Chains A and B, each alone.
Chain A
Amino acid sequence: MATPSGTSVSNGVYVPSGIANSDVKPVITTTPLADFLMQLEDYTPTIPDAVTGYYLNRAGFEASDPRIIRLVSLAAQKFISDIANDALQHCKMKGTASGSSRNKTKDKKYTLTMEDLSPALSEYGINVKKPHYFT
């Protein structure tokens, strides 16, 4: 990937030289991700490689590079933590809606319940309906 003279690659966005109009979208290379993959060798995600590898193998995905497994496990982690953060926002909103306490913030004991999780998931398009009891 040789950079032509005149255009500097700052964040992996490569703009071909000679393009004046802005209709053409720049081609985004995967260089930052390739660099990130190198960094992944040191960083171990929370999900062990064996567990992610087991589930990927069951789906037919046989990874030649262990770093790809770490990438997938990291993506899954981020997915779950995004949902958890959204649920936390819902929980905080319900707590301080009435503006009860000003001196101290709401007690730091947050409990994740289905009432918080359901609207958080519905924003992602996942609709859950868990019954409280079974008859």
Chain B
Amino acid sequence: MRESRSGCGKATSSPAENYQLARRRTLQVVVSSLLTECGFESAEKATVESLTEMIQSYISEVGRCAKAYCEHTARITPTLSDAVVTLNEMGFNVDTLPGYAKRSQRMVITAPPVTNAPVIPKALIAGQKRTHPSHIPSHFPEFPDPHTYIKTPTFREPVSDYQVVREKAASQRRDVERALTRFMAKTGETQSLFKDDVTAFPLIAERPSSIPYLSALLPSELELQTLEETDSSEQDDQTDSENTPDDPGADKENSVLLAGGVVPSVKVSEENMIDNPYLRPVKKPKVRRKK
């Protein structure tokens, strides 16, 4: 069977395309043999291509339609009846089929079976692909590589176990205390327990103060802060009471009772407030009448 070929260039194709092309070429050979059997000596390339395309789409259509019919009757495996009904729907007279089969037995069966191995793209495979579950037929394509759909978080979940957290907090605290005392010992003055070894077990040297009992008498900073806050609020009451002709004495007594032994500081703050230029009453400039 001669074919009038026009120049066709071969492009590089992947193994999958080669797989498809091999089958397509087999169909072309089949079409050519059928045409030879009919009596044609040669054919145009366009006609062979057309007939190949037609036979391929015919087989695909029969497959799709037969599958649809068998699924329509709540089955999954197509049977002979499905195929017969499909061929009837496509306008094919099934009764003539046995006659055709017997007739064409005269023809030489030329097309060899394709012995291509299935496609195995070996490049870029990472991990093992999942196998098909039982409800998926085996001729369906495989699952993709697992890294395409499995998500692994890049952080670890924080531990929320009480015991572990408690232990972690305790060890962190111990480490912080140790590091801080070491730092102070290394940067400040130290006293040592041992005469010969000065660096081992350094103790932070204490600074003796001139009046040791002062710290016991004076309130701590926190108490001072709260006292100052209460004093400032009472100061506002006192200034108001001075402006209004009320009993300033009673207020002063109240403030004395509340403050306790902080009377001198109250007076000091009073003087401070008056001396504070931002707290003095506003002095309006004298408006000179222009003569």
Contacts and interface: CB of A to CB of B under 8 A. Distances in A.
Interface string A23-66: 00000001011101101100111111111101111111111110
A74 B96 CA distance: 11
A15 interface: no
Interface residues of A, number: 58
B203 interface: no
Interface residues of chain B: helix, strand, loop or mixed (majority): helix
Interface string A75-88: 11111110111001
A30 to B, nearest CB: 7
B218 to A, nearest CB: 92
Contacts of B50: 114, 117, 128, 130
B23 A51 contact: yes
Nearest to B92: A75
Contacts of B56: 55
B84 A50 contact: no
A80 B38 CA distance: 10
Contact of B41 (A57, A110, A113, A124): A110
B40 A114 contact: no
Nearest to B70: A61
B54 interface: yes
Nearest to B66: A61
Contacts of A49: 113
26 contacts: A32-B98, A37-B80, A43-B105, A44-B109, A46-B34, A46-B109, A47-B27, A50-B114, A51-B26, A51-B113, A54-B23, A55-B23, A60-B63, A65-B79, A68-B83, A71-B83, A74-B97, A76-B59, A77-B30, A77-B34, A79-B92, A80-B51, A80-B54, A84-B34, A84-B40, A112-B42
